[in-house]
Amino acid sequence: MNKTIIFAKNKVVETTIKINTDSITPEFIEGIKKLFPHKTVEITIQPADETDYILSNPVYAKVLKDRISEYEEKKQTISLIADDLL
């Protein structure tokens, strides 16, 4: 889980959380409620960009870098499916 929290005057004003849906539990929801007690909040859900995840793993990043280098050297099309990296 990745999390970014923005504070203003010691209060949370915004947070961004990237989490796998399998990890969303009642305790996770309770944590959100503790961050914003007695407030109306806006929740937007969208698929996360997996590029950050791929690049954060040295093995996956190397595979991607190698495939890009191979393409640039040979100028050939290389099939790349995100699931192949994961």
Q: What is the pLDDT of residue 30?
A: 92
Residues 32 and 56 in one domain: no
At 6-34, the pLDDT tens digits run: 555 666 677 778 888 888 899 989 988 98
- Tell me the pLDDT tens digit for each residue of 64-81: 888 888 878 876 666 667
Domain that holds residue 40: 1-46
51 phi and psi angles, rounded to 5 deg: -60, -45
CA atoms within 13 A on the CB side of 63: 15
Query: How does residue 1 score in pLDDT terms, banded at 50, 70 and 90?
Result: low
38 and 56 housed in the same domain: no
Residues 15 and 29 in one domain: yes
What's the domain count of the chain? Answer: 2
